[in-house]
Amino acid sequence: MIDLHVHSTFSDGSFAPAELVDMAVSSGLTAMALTDHDGLGGLPQFMDACQAKGLIGIPGVEISIEFKPGTLHVLGYFIDAGNAPFAAALEDLRDGRESRNLKILQKLNELGCALSWEEVAAFAGEDVVGRPHFAQAMIAKGFVKTKEDAFDRYLAKGKPAYLDRVRLTVPDSIRLIHGAGGIAVLAHPSTLKVSRVELHRIVAELAAEGLDGIEAWYSEHTQDQQKAFAKLAEELGLILTGGSDFHGASNPEVRLGRGFGNLDVPDALLDTLYARAGKKR
């Protein structure tokens, strides 16, 4: 069993990279990728822990892309954390996120949800503050009861405290990932919120830009969606990946490696992932 989509305290997860490795070993995982949002800070700790515990570790990242009407993220695998152009691009993204976070805080206060930056940051880890941390702070102060309530009323796209932020384009993200020695995979394609015909067109265009794969196995994908994405990948010559999108406390229903309980990412996908990247296990 493998999990190629996991977040740590270096973005919006609640467990440190080394803790995730311990959890993965205890859960029977044979391989795991750390894919924090727009940052590589957790990779050294993650890779050291993987080596110490005998877990196959894949250094990764998840990049947010400008897209409408839904959400488009690109996963990068086998990223060289020392690649200067890639690190600089991610730094620009983090700067944009910080500016956006301060504006979200201001909007929430104007809407009657009195929060300080310290109260929000207390729920974050070593690096990036994100909307899930705002939700946790709002729950702690009694403004909402659940994370879903916070997003539905305030933080989701189109809601009164939502603000967009600086994002890369798909071609730029693929170019940067390839330049850092990695391969680029479309994350959770269901979140694009488009028809199957439109999805085929979009993914075909991305494949022409150099996209390497599609995340077909995912916690929120139905079996029908999984089959459809696998068929699309086959038609376009793309590899398949899968992962839980595990965050920990901000979404406790999703378990590492198992998603909502029935996720089972085939170990065989690891071979095609390595082959596509031109690397040996």
Alpha-carbon distance 156 to 174, whole Å? 26
State the sign of the Cα–Cα–Cα–Cα dihedral 99, 166, 238, 222. Answer: positive
What is the pLDDT, as a whole number, of residue 127? 53
Which letter does DSSP use for residue 222 in this model?
-
% residues pLDDT > 70 (the chain):
98
Same domain, 20 and 103: no
Query: Which of 110, 131, 155 is a domain's end point?
Result: 155
Q: Are residues 129 and 183 in the same domain?
A: no
What CATH number is attached to the domain comprising 116? 1.10.150.650
- Asked if residue 174 and residue 143 are part of one domain, the reply reads no
Q: Is residue 161 part of a domain?
A: no
Q: Let me know if residue 140 belongs to a domain.
A: yes
Of 1, 9, 71, the residue nearest 34 (C-alpha): 9
Residue 107 lies in a domain: yes
**pLDDT exceeds 90 at position 65:** no
149 lies in the same domain as 171: no
Please say whether the beta carbons of 27 and 36 come within 8 A. Answer: no
Residues 253 and 196 in one domain: yes
Last residue of a domain, one of 100, 128, 155: 155
- How many structural domains compose the chain? 2
Residue 187 lies in a domain: yes
User: Average of pLDDT values for 262-280?
Assistant: 94
Measure CA 224 to chain center.
22
State pTM to two decimals. 0.82
- List the domain range (segments joined by +) for residue 120: 91-155
Residue 160 lies in a domain: no
CA 281 to CA 271: how far, in whole Å?
8
What one-letter code names the amino acid at 124? A
pLDDT at 22: 98
Q: Are residues 242 and 266 in the same domain?
A: yes
Least Cα distance to 276 among 210, 203, 199 occurs for 210
Q: Is 30 helix (H, G, I), strand (E, B) or coil?
A: coil
Whether the bond between 69 and the residue before it is cis, its omega within 30 degrees of 0, is yes
Confidence of residue 213 (pLDDT cuts 50, 70, 90): very high
Do 82 and 99 lie in one domain? The reply is no
Instruction: List the alpha helices (DSSP H) in 55-168.
Output: 84-110, 117-121, 131-140, 147-150
Sign of CA dihedral 60, 132, 229, 198: negative
Residue 60's DSSP bridge partners are 77
Mean of all residue pLDDT scores within the chain: 92
| Distance (Å, whole) CA 44 – CA 38 | 15
Please indicate, yes or no, if residue 120 is contained in any of the structural domains: yes
Query: Is 202 inside any structural domain?
Result: yes
End-of-domain residue from the set 129, 155, 181? 155
| 35-57 residue pLDDT tens | 999 889 999 999 999 999 999 99
186 and 271 co-located in one domain: yes
136 or 68, higher pLDDT: 136
Residues 244 and 196 in one domain: yes
Q: What is the pLDDT of residues 10-32, one digit of tens each?
A: 988 989 999 999 999 999 999 99
Between 96 and 172, where is the model more confident? 172
What are the residues whose beta carbons fall under 8 Å from the beta carbon of 156, sequence distance 6 or more? 162
Place 241 in a pLDDT band, splitting at 50, 70 and 90.
Answer: very high
Mean pLDDT of 212-227: 96
Same domain for 80 and 20: yes
> What integer is the mean pLDDT of 225-236?
96
10 Å CB burial of residue 66 (0-12, 13-18, 19+) is: middle
Q: Is the pLDDT of residue 152 over 90?
A: yes
pLDDT digits (tens, 9 = 90+) for 93-139: 877 778 888 999 999 999 999 999 999 988 876 556 888 889 999 99
Give a yes or no: residue 254 inside a domain: yes
Q: How far is CA 93 from CA 82, 99, 145, 214, 249, in A?
A: 17, 10, 31, 23, 24
pLDDT at 125: 60
Residues 260, 173 share a domain: yes
* Residue 112 shares a structural domain with residue 236: no
Task: Please determine, for residue 243, whether its predicted confidence score (pLDDT) is greater than 60.
Answer: yes
CATH number at residue 178: 3.20.20.140
Nearest residue to 136 (alpha-carbon basis) of 127, 146, 128: 146
